[in-house]
Amino acid sequence: MTTTAPARTTGPLRPLELLGADTLLDADERDIAATVRRFVETRLAPEVGNWFESATLPKELAKEFGALGVLGMHLDGYGCAGTNAVSYGLACLELEAGDSGFRSFVSVQGSLSMFSIHRYGSDEQKEHWLPRLASGDAIGCFGLTEPDFGSNPGGMRTRARRDGSDWILTGTKMWITNGNLADVATVWAQTDEGVRGFVVPTDTPGFTANPIHRKLSLRASVTSELVLDNVRLPASAELPLARGLGAPLSCLNEARFGIVFGALGAARNSLETALDYAASREVFDRPLASYQLTQEKLADMTLELGKGFLLALHLGRLKDESGVTPEQISLGKLNNVREALAIARECRTILGASGITLEYSPLRHANNLESVLTYEGTSEMHLLSIGRALTGHAAFR
């Protein structure tokens, strides 16, 4: 057997170039990734430090995301692009390379708010809301998590009771992305017939969104508490096809898939930032990048980033071809968020004291990823989901 030595390179490679990642994508997928990357680099990256520091996300970005075509891009009809799952994942990767807040906005809009209406809504609900949400003319949020019920949403206390032909909703939802920006909320509640979903315009009397302040993470993102105080809704507000807890959980699986790719964007940007800094920073009259300990860090992080990308791409191909299971999504989210957080932290060490400023991205990414590690399924819950698949025993019950 003969072997061929790897071709020598003429200059430094970027992390995913070393993997040859682009060769695994088709032309449309590469074009979509490149388009979103340009938007992030030219429109979002110059401002993200200011938005993170001031804890704001301009509402007008919704229409810009709509014009870019990323809102509900993996859905069909109603002004949605109808792309494959891999293209949606790559868009999430590029958005999160800018900031987790950008990917969170797009993910909540498309994979939670829009997906819940697209999958479980009536024709009237779809025709009224989906084109506006796809264009960014309206903003959506998703009310499932409660103050005492995150990992156990089946215990939710929010109730919906019938009053003639109407529904009356009472309860509180917590940690709701886009809550104070939203024009419509998909709200999940207990009823006498089990868990049901409702499409709630946020100007309905009794509906209040309260912003959550003093966050140390996801600062370039709006996070809210939703209060429903005897919110009266017509029967037409109920999602007619949503029956039981499986409906909101299926929406979460859509959003988690975006995270599998998205977290890699934060990791890639952190690693590229560290590479650029190490190449220009001189220590003892030599570039920091020339030291063995620095190269060990860079090589290990590139390896984990590459493995995470291959895992995400594999899950994306499965989703497009035969479908992906919740346990497989758990594998992807658990690994990729955990490794992305480790990469962001390690990159900060290469930057030294400079790494604690907003001039550089790794610590901002690390702070954001602390939230991503927890939301839409904590690492512990994903471990137990995988454990249940392997053993047949539900350890969290």
Dump the DSSP string for 281-334: -EETTEEGGGSHHHHHHHHHHHHHHHHHHHHHHHHHHHHHHT---HHHHHHHHH
**Which is catalytic among the residues 146, 238, 346, 376?**
376
Walk along the chain (397 residues) in steps of 10 and give the mean pLDDT of each run: 46 90 96 98 97 96 98 97 97 98 97 97 98 98 92 90 97 96 97 96 98 96 97 98 94 95 98 97 95 97 98 98 95 98 98 96 98 92 94 88
User: What domains can you pick out in the chain, each with its CATH number?
Assistant: 15-135 (1.10.540.10), 140-244 (2.40.110.10), 247-391 (1.20.140.10)
How many other CB atoms are found less than 10 A from the CB of residue 389? 14
pLDDT of residue 1: 40
Residue 44 buriedness (CB in 10 A; 0-12 / 13-18 / 19+): buried
pLDDT of residue 2: 40
pLDDT of residue 10: 60
CA 216 to chain centre: 18
* Residue 62 CA: distances (Å) to CA of 27, 57, 69, 104: 27, 10, 11, 12
- Indicate if 376 belongs to the active site: yes
pLDDT of residue 338: 97
pLDDT of residue 3: 43
CA angle, residues 90, 125, 69, in degrees to nearest 5: 25
Written as one letter, the residue type at 41 is E
